Amino acid sequence: MSIAALIVAAGRGSRAGGPQPKQWQALAGARVIDHTLAVFRALPQIAEIVLVLHKDDMDQAEAFAAQGVTVTTGGAERAASVQRGLGAIRQAEKVLIHDAARPCVSAEIIAGVIDALDQYQAAAPGLPITDALWQGSEGRVTGTQDRSALFAAQTPQGFDLAAIRAAHAAHDGQAADDVEVARAAGLTVAITQGSADNLKITRPEDFARAARILETRMDIRTGNGFDVHAFGPGDHVTLCGIDIPHTHGLVGHSDADVALHTVTDAIYGALARGDIGQHFPPSDPKWKGARSEIFLRHAAELARDMGFTLTHVDCTLICESPKIGPHVQPMRAAMAEMLGIEIDRVSVKATTSERLGFTGRGEGIACMATATLVKS
C-alpha cells in the first residue's frame, strides 16, 4: 500500500520555553523537526512526506521542498492544520499523522502502526498507564481513578486516507487528536505498541530527556585520511580547491589537490567504502587532470545517500611552503560549499615537520584529515 507521512509542525509550543517554537530548537546536533523528518525519510514504506507549517515559518518551506517534502500552511487550530495537510497529499492509500515534537519515534513504532492498517482503518500507538491515578482539588487528593483500561496516546496515528479525510470534514469543533476525530466518525481504532521513549516535547526539561534518548540511537563514525604529493613543475598548487601561487606545482593524476584527496578518503573511511582510488581509479584516463572537488562531492553525496550527516571535517596540511595561513578562510569556505555544510564545521590548518623528512626538504606536501559522520 502507498503510505504518506503527514508531519504537523504548525504549533507555537509556548510551554517548552526558548526563543522560538520547540520544533525549531536545537536538539542533539540538529533541530527537533530535522530529527523527526529523518525517521520517516529513512523508511522505504513512506512514499510521500507532507509538512504543515505555521504561516510565520513559511520561510523554511523552500529548504524542505528541496528535500522532496511537500509543505503547506497550517490553520488556526490543530484540526484545521491536519485537514490542510490531508488535502496536500497527492496520492496515497494510507496516512500516518505525526507530531513534529515527537523526534524520538522509532521505526519499530511506525512499523507497528503500518502493520495494523492491513486489518483496520485506523491504528495508533498507546502506552498503558502504570502509575496510580489521582483526582485532586486545591492541592489535595480527592479520589482515585482506575487505570486498568487507560493508555497514553502517542503518534504517528495511522488511517485509511479517504476515511480520515471524510472524518475530518464531518467533525465539528476541536479534538484532542486524530483518533478522537476517527472515533466520532465511527472508525475502529487499533491500539499498537507505544514506547516511553516516544515522548512529546512539551516542557523545557523534555529537551534533555529527548537528547539522551537520541544519543543512545546515534551511529557516530570517524574516518581518517592521509595523502602525499610531490612537487613538480608549475607556478601554483591547488589546495581545498583554491589555487595558491608557488614556485612549484604538485604532481598527480588529477589536479593533485592533496587536501581534498585526504578529506575524501576520510569520508570514505568513515563509511567503510574503501578509498578514493577504488571510486576514481588513476588508471582511468577520464580522471586525468580532473578537479578534485568531483571526488569530494561524490563522497559527501554517498554519505547523505547512506543516511549520514557530515558534522565536522578537520584537515591538517604539512609543508614548509607555501604559507597556508593567508589562504585558510577561502579554503574553508570552498570546502564547506563542496560538502554542503556550514563553514564553522570545517577546519583547515597547517604545520611544518621542523625541516625533517621529505616535507622538511621541500619535496612535497603531506596532509591528514578526520571526518565525523552521524546517523540517527
| 21 preceded by a cis bond (ω within 30 of 0) | no
Cα 279 to Cα 332: distance, rounded to the nearest angstrom: 24
Does the pLDDT of residue 74 top 70, yes or no?
Answer: yes
Tell me the CB-side half-sphere exposure of residue 85, using CA atoms within 13 A: 31
Distance CA 248, CA 245 (A): 8
Amino acid, res. 103: P
Report the C-alpha gap between 144 and 133 in whole angstroms. Answer: 6
Q: 177: closest CA among 363, 6, 309, 367?
A: 6
- Give the pLDDT score at 291: 94
Backbone phi and psi for residue 60, each to the nearest 5 degrees, phi listed first = -85, -10
pLDDT at 1 over 80: no
Q: Is 203 strand, coil or helix?
A: coil
Closest-CA residue to 102 (of 221, 229, 8, 219): 8
Q: Cα torsion at 250, 256, 257, 258 (round to 10°)? A: -80
Asked whether the bond before 282 is cis by omega within 30 degrees of 0, the reply is: no
| pTM (2 d.p.) | 0.69
Return d(Cα 303, Cα 172) in angstroms, integer.
Answer: 47
- In angstroms, the CA 245 to CA 255 distance is 14
- What pLDDT shows up at residue 145? 94
Q: With contact defined as beta carbons under 8 Å apart, do 292 and 261 qualify?
A: yes
Reply yes or no on whether the pLDDT at 225 is more than 90.
Answer: yes
Bridge partner list, 242? 239
pLDDT tens readout for residues 248-307: 999 998 999 999 999 999 999 999 999 999 999 988 888 888 999 999 999 999 999 998
| H or E, element range at 48 | strand 46-53
DSSP secondary structure of 97-165: EEETT-TT--HHHHHHHHHHTTT-SEEEEEEE--S-EEEEETTEEEEEE--TT-EEE-S-EEEEHHHHH
Q: What is the predicted pLDDT for the residue at 376?
A: 58
Side chain identity, residue 355? R
Give 357's pLDDT tier (boundaries 50, 70, 90). Answer: very high
Cα separations (Å) of 32 from 45, 150, 159, 218, 351?
Answer: 22, 29, 25, 15, 39
Q: Please report how the helices 328-339 and 258-271 are oriented relative to each other, as an axis angle in degrees rounded to 10.
A: 40
The H or E element spanning position 27 is strand 26-27
Closest CA to 69 of 45, 47, 99, 98: 47
Residue 347 has a pLDDT of 97
Tens of pLDDT, residue by residue over 85-115, are 999 999 899 999 999 999 999 999 999 999 9
